[in-house]
A and B are shown apart, each in its own frame.
Chain A
Amino acid sequence: MAVMSVLVFVGIYMIGDPLAILVSPEATELDREAIAKSLGLDRPMWEQYLTFVTSALQGNFGKSFVFGQPAINLILERMPATLELALIATFMSVVIGVPLGLYAGLRHETVAARAIMAGSVLGFSLPNFWVGLMLIMVFAVQLGWLPASGRGPTMEVLGIHVSFLSLTGWKYLALPALTLGLSKCALIIRLARATAREVMLMDYVKFARAKGLSEKRVIGVHILKNIMVPITTVTGLELGSLIAFAVITETIFSWPGMGKLLIDSIVHLDRPVVVAYLIVVVFLLVIISLIVDILYSVLDPRVRLGEAK
């Protein structure tokens, strides 16, 4: 995270001078200097970085140049919306992707399996924004079933605003989550299929059949539990990237999440927000990979530590 903070800080410093955007063209040179001073932009870069690090360690990521609020608050305020969207998209892609992939792997010569695989190629190759726009066209504009943008009314649970508890919330969630989840779903289908084809040839699957187990148990326990190991890894990684880079989907659907905030902040060269955003994302990724590691040891006893006898 330390490395990340340096990279981001220097990177954003190089991009441009926020004063050029913040200060109106009619302002005098004196005004400019006053604003620069108040924001601390007159000092050299290393000094700015040091100030940033010392206050960041105390939980203060600075104030947004644009909103005048603490940057971290801006981000945390919008985080639940993004997290909810990303989690539901991931959940959908696993729930749909694993059974389809499993089927395509086990019955790989059937027409249905080939159709699934062809569909997954589409899911992969269609660009995100196009899918989003098409979904809006069909479901919001033509059919009028679902709202095209925004998050709609939310419910408050433990101080966090969430949408997934009400039907209206789901209506708002459906299209962006589908857009976001589609390519992940395609990825999981392909992964599940490949591992299922590998696992079904293993001796222990044949042995499970030789023990007289029902096909349901052979597939549902012996094969499924083995393919869940790689799927968990990939899902974890993909969840991280969904949270961090849901930008496009959030922009299309005007979803009030972190991604939209990031885009706005970059446009305005709002350094504290961008830096704080990336730090938060890195932190989330670390947490997610920790969770994946823990899940991993639940699923695969061979990676458990301290149990070897």
Chain B
Amino acid sequence: MTATLQVENLETQFPTRDGIVRAVDGVSFSVDAGEILGLVGESGSGKSITGFTILGLIDPPGRIANGSVKFKGEELTTASPERLRSLRGSRIAMIFQDPMMTLNPVLRVDTQMIETVQAHEKVSEKAARARCIETLQSVGIAAPEDRLKSYPHQFSGGMRQRIAIATALLHKPDLIIADEPTTALDVTIQGQILYEMRKLCRDTGTALIWITHDLSVVAGLADRIMVMYAGKIVETGAIDTVIERPQHPYTRGLIGSVPGAMPRGKRLFQIPGMAPAPLNLPPGCRFKARCSRADAVCDTMPELLELNPGHRARCHHPFDAKPLSPAEVVS
């Protein structure tokens, strides 16, 4: 069976006055139907750009410099704009980070949802409206007939995100790319939405890429995890393996900085330093300047090596594949 999404050696670049920014630099991964992939990284690591690249929504002058994106076997990097448009919103949907900004403030919710239905299928407005009502109901919005006639500002943030999710679900897509959709929400609502999204993927076989900077969100949601740093994948594997036995020092640092990983009262772990400037990436391992284990070998770029079955890390000095104890995190 072909994977729902197969990304090979993807490179997205933004030419700027001072040089080329390699936002996504040789990223490869795949997602199967019904699978949830957590894509983790800090701001500027290229995780959101990866999502937009898949959809063909990179703002000029950004461009895909290399690599391939195959959606159910179909190459997207060379597809026509019209083909991409017909896939967007119907087969591949995206949910954005800030629900306050994703709905157009001057258009009614029904306008914004019905246009999505009609962009891909020739259906009457009545049939489209019925579909919107049904979908809104499925994401837990009460009295959808009335709510459809409202404007976005009449909804709370959580409700707006549900509307955005419902909009993404209108055509029962095969792949959903969710770009930190719960970051701006209350923790209680975040929990509900996570639960519903997980259930949805299991029930419908939709593949989900969940982009986030919050490891604790992904830990309870994803099947597999992929950690990005400065445009490159540094570690990938099954969620439990990576969380319990991280091999890359960066992943280890991320886990150590989540509240709860450390004994109560102790200072949270901080990764020293800052992410490298995207225009001025150091040769070799991009994390070496912040890494306690770095030495001369790290001046060459390490490969993404499989150290245990299904668990790969890009490091010359990976940690042992044994469970992490709190004491080790600090060392």
Contact = CB atoms under 8 A, between A and B. Distances in A.
Interface in A202-234: 202-204, 206-214, 217, 221-222, 225-226, 229
Interface string A290-309: 00000000011110000111
B248 to A, nearest CB: 31
A217 B57 contact: no
B66 interface: no
Contacts of B9: none
A307 B108 CA distance: 13
B57 A301 contact: no
A204 B86 contact: no
Given A302-B151, A302-B153, A212 B88 contact: yes
Contact of A212 (B86, B151, B153, B154): B86
**Chain A interface extent, by class:** 20 to 34
A213 B104 contact: no
A83 to B, nearest CB: 30
Nearest to B106: A225
B103 A207 contact: yes
Nearest to A202: B101
A159 B116 CA distance: 50
Contacts of A301: 105-106, 108, 151, 153
A221 B107 contact: yes
Contacts of A225: 104, 106-107
B164 interface: yes
Interface stretch (B70-78, B89-97, B261-269, B279-287): B89-97
Nearest to B84: A212
Contacts of A208: 104, 112
Contacts of A222: 104, 107
A212 B107 contact: no
A204 to B, nearest CB: 4
B178 to A, nearest CB: 12
- Which of B88, B90, B104, B115 has the most chain A CB within a 10 Å cutoff? B104
Interface centre among A206, A209, A211, A214 (most CB of B within 10 A): A211
B14 to A, nearest CB: 15
A283 B98 CA distance: 45
B158 to A, nearest CB: 16
A210 B112 CA distance: 12
B95 to A, nearest CB: 9
A40 B98 CA distance: 70
Contact of B115 (A210, A211, A229): A211
Nearest to B171: A212
B133 interface: no
B119 interface: yes
A103 to B, nearest CB: 16
Given A301-B151, A308-B154, A207 B102 contact: yes
B96 A212 contact: no
A213 B108 CA distance: 16
Given A222-B107, A225-B107, A308-B154, A210 B101 contact: no
B293 to A, nearest CB: 39
B49 to A, nearest CB: 13
A213 B150 CA distance: 21
A212 B88 CA distance: 5
B101 A212 contact: no
Interface string B100-138: 011111111000100110011000000000000000000
B167 interface: yes
Given A202-B101, A309-B154, A211 B107 contact: no
A229 B107 CA distance: 13
A63 B150 CA distance: 55
Contacts of A202: 101
Interface string B154-191: 10000000001001000000000000000000000000
B104 A204 contact: yes
Nearest to B155: A309
B222 interface: no
B228 to A, nearest CB: 21
A212 B85 contact: yes
Interface in A18-59: none
B88 A209 contact: yes
A209 B115 contact: no
A204 B88 CA distance: 15
Given A212-B120, A213-B116, 16 more contacts: A203-B102, A204-B101, A204-B102, A206-B96, A210-B55, A210-B93, A212-B90, A213-B85, A214-B119, A217-B115, A217-B119, A222-B107, A225-B104, A226-B105, A300-B106, A307-B154
The 8 A-B pairs with the shortest beta carbon distances in the complex, nearest first, are: A212-B89, A203-B101, A211-B89, A212-B88, A301-B151, A210-B94, A204-B104, A207-B102
Interface of A: 202-204, 206-214, 217, 221-222, 225-226, 229, 299-302, 307-309
25 contacts: A203-B98, A203-B102, A204-B101, A206-B57, A207-B103, A208-B112, A209-B88, A210-B93, A211-B119, A212-B86, A212-B88, A212-B89, A212-B90, A212-B116, A213-B85, A213-B89, A213-B119, A221-B107, A222-B104, A300-B105, A301-B105, A301-B153, A302-B105, A307-B154, A309-B154
